[in-house]
Structure 1
């Protein structure tokens, strides 16, 4: 194993902050750069680089000039745009799926057809290219019905329409906004889980399971967001149901990647609903999730650099060692998120403690503090001996501050603890 290596992380959010921190903890790593990163990362010794995540040539130039060992890609837009293909064409090591494999996230229709082909359990679906045929297609579905924009939408391109009338309005609106294709899906009822698999051509390993909170407000109300908080582990999940997820969903997914000759080297996210009929997939992502990453990585006891280095060099992956600690993260978002988030609110100075960590996202400098720059601003992460302790610590910490122009959910983790703040 090499020492004094330098790593580049591509992205700018809380997910990339968590990834870079985890890599820096390795004794093998001398420096972690993040492009473009955010100013909050600098508090943890992460070196930010002012290069856009889609400026592939500039990123490659930085990698070559700075003798970067390999690059880790955080955001989906760079993966779907083909950053992995671009790097590999120049002989540069990079962790993530290529452009073809990234279609599993880049196109909802592509993902659903993949699942149909390789017998991965999912919802009934149909794809349409115009509002008239989509509205007519509603007759095939009950109420509520799920409407998905067929493309990247940062977790906000999904609408669960409660009635046919609402569905008609949403369909018309999506096409009016320029959507070329939408997918209608049957609504799946049950608890949702986030499952991440690290895979290369040798084998695959499942990372610690998490549960995300997608809706903007308490009690799962309001519009879908990129995620308002997460926690891990998920003690309410029966071991028998977890094993079903592995055998009925993960194994056929990996088999499909192999049969389809995808040459997948990286992380695949499987969004699961545990229905009465068993686990079913609601979506694939081709990277780590946000905010799940912020609670999953602290629970991985392996040296994170070594784990990823093994993957990118296509060696046999080691077993994942899970910490017994529980981790819970609460996202602080700007008022108006996800539709029209405000900016420039001054944030209080947040100091870490023995049990509280902060991962920054959309922030910019303001004197000795930070200002909000729209959307999700940061994640407060708490570790405890169990979820109840982690949950109490997170909310006790948040309650110490006044967050003008911001909001956060008061019920992250309640599905496991039954406690709301």
Structure 2
């Protein structure tokens, strides 16, 4: 028997480092799954993300830990199957409280690209400390928004074009993450749907969104590639 219910609210992602008994939560992030602006078009693997989330109250992170992450960890340990690794909770904030959409045992793409750059302490050392039975202190930046937009092949997600020359992103304030790329005649070209992601940091979501759009509109061929211009719109509105 399948029981369904309609959930209304903002979805977001929460990553936690888990050692079987304890967990450390990372900054919350929000992904944009639909292909086009305004959350229109088909679902994709993710067209962009930003973090942290200024539109959520400060207590949201502690609620995620106490009502979602820790109960799952405790139950798995009680069942004799303690979980060790990255636990990804896909959540939605409704008028009735937090609801779980899904769990994954990995970090998420494209959220990882806007979460990890905020870390000011060593990730590897934190993992070793956690595995050693102690809870590490992770220091995160708190004065900027990290926002990234995915550049996808024209026709994605159904008929993406391969073999297209990659955009040249040379802006000093842009971080570029590569995904669906390969080499052809000793040159980098597209090879897959989501090709690249360009991330910047700024004092606000709106400022970060404007800067990313400026970089992409100036450097990317709109006939060969597609991307959204409204990443972060939920926070801005």
- Which of 1 and 2 has greater Rg? 1
Deviations 1:326-359 (A, max 9, x none): 1001001112222232211112222251x21100
Task: Name the counterpart of 2:137.
Answer: 319
The 3-state SS of whatever aligns with 2:219 is coil
| Residue 377 (1) aligns with residue 158 (2) | no
User: 1:316 offset after TM fit, Å?
Assistant: 1.3
Residue 202 and residue 248 in structure 1: after superposition, are their counterparts in 2 closer, same or farther (change >3 A)? Answer: closer
Instruction: Give the whole-Å Cα distance in 2 for the aligned partners of 1:380 and 1:366.
Output: 22
Higher mean Cα deviation, 218-227 or 276-285?
218-227
Query: What is aligned with 2:232?
Result: 413
Deviations 1:8-63 (A, max 9, x none): xxxxxxxxxxxxxxxxxxxxxxxxxxxxxxxxxxxxxxxxxxxxxxxxxxxxxxxx
Q: Which runs of structure 1 show a deviation greater than 4 angstroms over 4 or more consecutive aligned residues?
A: 366-369
Partner of 1:227: 46
1:202–1:317 contact (8 Å) kept in structure 2? no
SS at match of 2:91: strand
CA distance in 2 between partners of 1:240 and 1:199 (Å): 21
The equivalences for 1:83-162 within 5 A come to 126=2
Indicate the residue corresponding to 1:395 in structure 2.
213
- In structure 2, relative to structure 1, the CA distance for the partners of 1:368 and 1:348 (3 Å cut) is farther
Query: What SS does the aligned partner of 1:199 have?
Result: strand
Say if 1:368 and 1:387 are closer, same or farther in 2 by CA, change over 3 A: farther
Could you tell me which residue of structure 2 aligns to residue 363 of structure 1? 181
> Post-superposition shift, 1:377?
0.2
Aligned-residue offset at 1:231: 0.2
Asked if 1:249 corresponds to 2:68, the answer is yes
Distance 1:322 1:348 in 2: 31
Q: TM-score, normalised by structure 1?
A: 0.53
- Say which of 95, 103, 108 aligns to 1:284: 103
Shift of 1:365: 2.2
Judged with a 3 Å threshold, the aligned counterparts in structure 2 of structure 1 residues 271 and 391 are, in CA distance, closer, same or farther, namely same
Structure 2: gaps spanning 5 or more residues: none
Does residue 1:298 correspond to 2:120, yes or no? no
More strand by share: 2
CA distance in 2, matches of 1:393, 1:316: 40
Cα offset, 1:196, TM superposition: 0.5
Question: Could you tell me which residue of structure 2 aligns to residue 29 of structure 1?
Answer: none
How far apart, in 2, do the equivalents of 1:351 and 1:367 lie? 22
Unpaired runs of 5+ residues, structure 1, are: 1-124, 127-139, 141-184
TM-score computed with the length of structure 2 as normaliser: 0.92
Partner of 1:346: 165
Q: How many residues align?
A: 235
CA distance in 1, matches of 2:181, 2:166: 9
If asked which structure has higher relative contact order (CA below 8 Å, sep 6+), I would say 2
Contact 1:299/1:326 (CA < 8 Å) preserved in 2? Answer: no
